[in-house]
Amino acid sequence: MSLADWRKSGKIQKHQSSEQEIAALLAVADRELADAGIAGVSADGRFRAAYNAVLSLATAALHACGYRTPGHITGHHVSTIQSLALTLGVEAALVDQLDVCRKKRNASTYDVAGAISEEEVRAILQIARHLRLRVEAWLRNNHPHLL
C-alpha cells in the first residue's frame, strides 16, 4: 500500500500543509512531551500526553506529505499512527507497538483509571522522544521548506 492507495480508498485526503502548520504540530508535540515528564501527574495522564505527542508527530509527517486523515471518519487515530510506516518508513513492529499504546490510551481515557504502569509511561515517552527527533530530521531531509 502507498499513500496514493490510501487516498483512493478514502482513508486519507489531499492536504496542503504550511510551515506554520508544521511548526504548530511540533509545538503541540513538544508541549505534550513536557507534560508527560511531570512527575506529579498520574501515570495514565503522562501516558496520554506521550501518546498525544506521537499522534501530533505522525500528523505532521502525514501533512508534510500532502495528506490528512478525515477527522469525521472512525479510526482516524489508527490511520494516522499506521501512516508512519508510509511517511517515515517506521518499522512494522513499532507501528504495532504504537497501536497497543493507542488501545491502552483509549482504555485509560474512557474505561478504567490506573491501567498504565510506570514502565509503560517510560516506554512510550522514549518512543515519543525518539520520534520527535526522527520527524525533525526527516523534515529537514525531505521537506525543508516546511521548517
Q: Where are the domains of the chain?
A: 3-146
Question: How confident is the model over 12-26, as a mean pLDDT?
Answer: 96
> Do residues 144 and 22 make contact, with C-beta atoms less than 8 angstroms apart?
no
Number of alpha carbons in the 13 Å side-chain half-sphere of residue 110: 6
Q: CATH code for 3-146?
A: 1.20.120.330
> Do residues 139 and 147 make contact, with C-beta atoms less than 8 angstroms apart?
yes
DSSP letter at 68?
Answer: E
User: Which residue carries 501527574 as its cell?
Assistant: 41
**Kind plus residue range of the DSSP H or E element containing 16:** none
Q: Give the tens place of pLDDT for each residue, 21-54.
A: 999 999 999 999 999 999 999 999 999 999 999 9
This prediction has a pTM of: 0.94
